[in-house]
Amino acid sequence: MEKARERIPVVAANWKMNKTCAETVNFLSQFLYMVEDVNAQVEVLVFPPFTALRSATTFLQAEKPRKIFPEIGAQNMHWEDSGAFTGEISPLMLKELGIHHVIIGHSERRNLFKEDENSILKKVEAAIRHQMTPIICVGEKFQEREEGLTEEVVKNQLLSILQLFKKTEFTDFMIAYEPVWAIGTGVAASPEDASDVCRYIRALIGSIISPDVAAKVRILYGGSVDVKNFRDFILEPDIDGGLVGTSSLDLKKFVELVKIAGNYG
Ligand code: PEP
């Protein structure tokens, strides 16, 4: 049965530490060519490494807008506008490049770079201050899932963030539910399990912020999404798209994912 779409589906490519400037522009130019005739409503977000952001936005500015047209986002940012933070990139620097989307709290940032809830909250605060759309990543580790703690973990990761949004008028954000054990492993969650967690997240947004915001926010699933399993995720009523790592690096697969999200493939 075809799903009635209340929310525009999103396909977001998290390239992590992959692709040079030249590879990024080459990918985007071929992508535009390959989706030229695709008449579907899909929001496509591409998150290249920082070094390729300027090339990507400059390239896209010179292209004709069309039905499917990627927006470029950043994989991370610091919460301050400037200062003595060696190696960091500020929201102002991203805004200058025309960047309006930023991934915050990806599990690789949390686990490999020791980002904690406090710094993630400050980043979300900075995104709100700069009217940028954060894609806030949450998800449990394998052991936590085994212990039946998934909802508790996700709730703890989201509570102060949702309370922060409640205090502002700005509620343009997305949540990516990414079970840590499914990221880059080739073992995805089942669509039913992912959907249960996404439904739980939506209910949490409804109870903390408002039912209106809960109905509007896009909740994505991430973790070993590929062309074989994506349709099943996207058919779930509470899953509005995918945050995709590995499969987004391959142009043909990425185009296919975009078509699937638009019910075109
Ligand atoms: C990710 O990095 O957000 C991700 C989901 O990666 P992969 O698709 O490779 O599991």
pLDDT score at 219: 98
pLDDT score at 210: 97
SS3 sequence, 135-201? EEEECCCHHHHHCCCHHHHHHHHHHHHHHHHHCCCCCCCEEEECCHHHCCCCCCCCHHHHHHHHHHH
Indicate whether 29 pLDDT > 60.
yes
Closest ligand 1 atom, residue 182 Cα? 10
Indicate whether 172 pLDDT > 50.
yes
Indicate whether 2 pLDDT > 90.
no
pTM of the complete model beyond 0.85? yes
**Per-residue pLDDT reduced to its tens digit, 32-64:** 999 998 989 999 999 999 999 999 999 999 998
- In this predicted structure, which of 2-11, 18-27, 166-175, 210-219 has the lowest mean pLDDT? 2-11
Q: Which residue's alpha carbon is nearest to atom 6 within ligand 1?
A: 245
Closest ligand 1 atom, residue 176 Cα? 3
183 lines ligand 1 (CB under 6 A): yes
Non-local CB neighbours of 82 within 8 Å, separated by 6+ positions: 90, 92
Over residues 144-152, the mean pLDDT reads 98
User: Alpha-carbon distance 135 to 172, whole Å?
Assistant: 10
User: Alpha-carbon distance 49 to 29, whole Å?
Assistant: 17
pLDDT score at 4: 53
SS3 state at 73: strand
SS3 state at 51: helix
What number of CA atoms fall less than 13 Å from residue 74's CA on the CB side?
27
211 lines ligand 1 (CB under 6 A): no
Average pLDDT, the chain: 96
- Provide CATH code, domain 10-264: 3.20.20.70
pLDDT score at 228: 97
Q: How many CB atoms lie within 10 A of CB 87?
A: 5
Torsion of CA 149, 153, 155, 160, to 10 degrees: 160
Rounded distance from Cα 249 to ligand 1 centre (Å): 10
Indicate whether 187 pLDDT > 50.
yes
Rounded distance from Cα 168 to ligand 1 centre (Å): 30
Over residues 69-82, the mean pLDDT reads 98
94 lines ligand 1 (CB under 6 A): no
Rounded distance from Cα 112 to ligand 1 centre (Å): 15
pLDDT score at 1: 38
Rounded distance from Cα 141 to ligand 1 centre (Å): 14
User: Alpha-carbon distance 107 to 140, whole Å?
Assistant: 9
Closest ligand 1 atom, residue 225 Cα? 8
User: Alpha-carbon distance 118 to 122, whole Å?
Assistant: 6
Indicate whether 70 pLDDT > 90.
yes
* Residue boundaries of the structural domains of the chain: 10-264
Which position among 101, 106, 108, 236 bears the catalytic label?
106
**Which band of pLDDT confidence, cut at 50, 70 and 90, is reported for residue 66?**
confident
